Amino acid sequence: MADRDTLGRLQKRLGAAAEQAGLLDVGYTVVETPVGKLLLAATQAGLVRVAFDCEDHDAVLAVLAERISPRILAAPDRLQVAAAQITEYFDGARRTFDLPLDLRLTAGFRRSVVERLRDIGYGSTATYSAVAALAGSPGAVRAVGTACALNPLPVVVPCHRVVRSDGSTGGYRGGPAAKRLLLNLEAAA
């Protein structure tokens, strides 16, 4: 156990030193939640990615290295506020997230959908067609589904609140069980 503790302290010091020297473009941490381990990644601009364990965190980090910068390190200090808010959300003590977001991983219509998702209140749902109308393209129901599936910030930007017009949950990046858990968590409040 001492070796793991030592490694953790060294990684934390390395992340802090890289941050202070301006050499850290993407910092990340992993938090335990009721839907499994979530990878949180942030740039200087804000939270850029939330990834479920089923997405393969190493693969997600490789994509971030390719699309943003290879200067990525575990940097839990950068993500301290985001991790605390995620924990508060799952504990039922938080209904909205108050975090700076970096939306550079989404663009065009998909970005306009992601920006509208935050308008769906805690404990509420909206259909894919309603979100299409909110995003200014009422006929783009399938495109809304794709935007939700590729939402880089699930949980924080609540694509889990988007359901099919028949009331069924539809797909979800974290899997159907995670979507049901999130919807049930919010419905119970």
Active site residues: 159
Q: Which backbone phi and psi does 58 adopt, to 5 degrees?
A: -65, -40
Cβ neighbors of 159 (< 8 A, separation 6 or more) are: 114, 117, 147, 148, 149, 151, 172, 173
Picking from 157, 132, 136, the residue whose alpha carbon sits closest to that of residue 146 is 132
Q: Which residues of 126-139 are buried (b: 16+ CB within 10 A; e: fewer)?
A: bbbbbbbbbbeeee
Q: How many residues does the chain have?
A: 189
d(CA 43, CA 133): 31
Q: Taking the CB of residue 75, how many other CB atoms lie within 10 A of it?
A: 22
Q: Taking the CB of residue 45, how many other CB atoms lie within 10 A of it?
A: 11
